[in-house]
Structure 1
């Protein structure tokens, strides 16, 4: 399965040159101000992309998705786009989970206070998650701002270390674009725009071996069994 990752297009989607792939994932901030006209233009473009599966989450600029009801959003969402909001889907045996939530970062959409408030969202992420999609990064991983501040979420990092998805993709911090692997997890900051909102970065493409989803779940089960035996 070839997965194409993008994030933070902020209305510049027409400039994006997308590689071919089976699954296209956008990790939020499709707009600049979250107005319906911006979002609808993006959805039309996204829907027309040739990738068989298209997954989308919102970001902190995407007020449209926070201010409108689920019924309204579903009525405007094209049938060939999978919109995730603290929810998941399974494609050809690979389990995806997506959330737009990030720690308070200015007066934006989907902000939550650090600690128990935001942890409640991460507690929803299933143990059996192969590809985790969040708008914001975990703490200390591709989350450094131009001021050298680390602004990722500590509680999210704890959850990722617990479930160990094969891939964790996010955006939000444009200047931290890149890919890094730690403890068996491939972390991807897929922001396409730089900190000045210029389109400078390429989509990230990953060849995901579908069989890995099964083996990852099997290993987690075995590890859980051993842990239970140790505690008996």
Structure 2
């Protein structure tokens, strides 16, 4: 299965148009959050992306809530929004979790969860799923421009215990577009330009 992975488009029309073109080459599209910016522009971004006719799995970032993203996707028939939930396509399970984990310093606009809340949401993640998490795991593609690890322990623990086939994340722009082997799986910080990945 050929996948297009992306995250953090933040209401950028150029990136969205490029992703629509890239989607024509793949079987499935995965968006790992931050479609909007400061909880604004979500509907506009989704309108641009809804030209994608391939099955698309989205998880919210910290720049939009689960409900906001669900509502914005009402007229995108090929898209499904996951947050603490799973879906199956072509025999492969996909599990999504959104928001900033742990809580970011950005203030009340940011859609965030504590590590404990993240653990609770991730309990339902099955083994060998493709894990779509806006927040990267602690220690994996999570280093800020100041050299700090900003990833989630809850996501790390889920990778260690559930052995996902692939982990798709975003959130930390400094690692955008990078792919590494991490804790026995492939971890991709997808970024707004998109990454093609064969599963």
Normalising to structure 1: TM-score of the pair?
0.75
Partners of 1:13 and 1:24 in 2: CA distance? 17
Helix, strand or coil at the partner of 1:187: strand
Please say if residues 159 and 183 of structure 2, whose CA atoms lie closer than 8 Å, have aligned partners that are also in contact. Answer: no
CA deviation profile, 1:183-229 (whole Å, cap 9, x unmatched): 4300000122xxxxxxxxx3111111xxxxxxxxxxxxxxxxxxxxx
Distance change (3 Å), C-alpha of 1:13 and 1:156: same
The more displaced of 54-63 and 90-99 is 54-63
Per the alignment, residue 45 of structure 1 pairs with 48
Normalization by structure 2: what TM-score?
0.87
In the other structure, the counterpart of 1:218 is none
Larger Rg: 1
Q: Find the aligned partners of 1:76 and 1:105 in 2 and give their Cα distance.
A: 28
Aligned length: 190
Distance in 2 between residues matched to 1:165 and 1:126, nearest whole Å:
8
The CA distance in 2 between the partners of 1:188 and 1:119, in whole Å, is 21
**In 2, distance between residues paired with 1:27 and 1:207?**
17
* Distance 1:181-1:40 versus aligned 2 partners, 3 A rule: same
- CA 1:166–1:32 in 2, change beyond 3 Å: closer, same or farther? same
Distance 1:77 1:135, change over 3 A: farther
- Alpha-carbon distance between aligned partners in 2 of 1:39 and 1:15, rounded to the nearest angstrom: 14
Q: Which has the higher helix share?
A: 1
Alignment check: 8 A CA contact 2:5 2:31 kept: yes
User: What's 1:226 paired with?
Assistant: none
Question: What residue ranges of structure 1 are gaps of 5+ in the alignment?
Answer: 193-201, 209-232
Q: Which 10-residue stretch deviates more, 26-35 or 12-21? A: 12-21
Instruction: Name stretches of at least 5 consecutive residues in structure 2 with no aligned partner.
Output: none
Asked if the contact 1:43/1:77 (under 8 Å) is kept, the reply is no
Task: Provide the rounded CA distance (Å) in 1 between the counterparts of 2:73 and 2:150.
Answer: 35
Map of 1:206 onto structure 2: 197
Deviation at 1:110, TM superposition (A): 3.0
**CA shift for structure 1 position 174:** 0.3
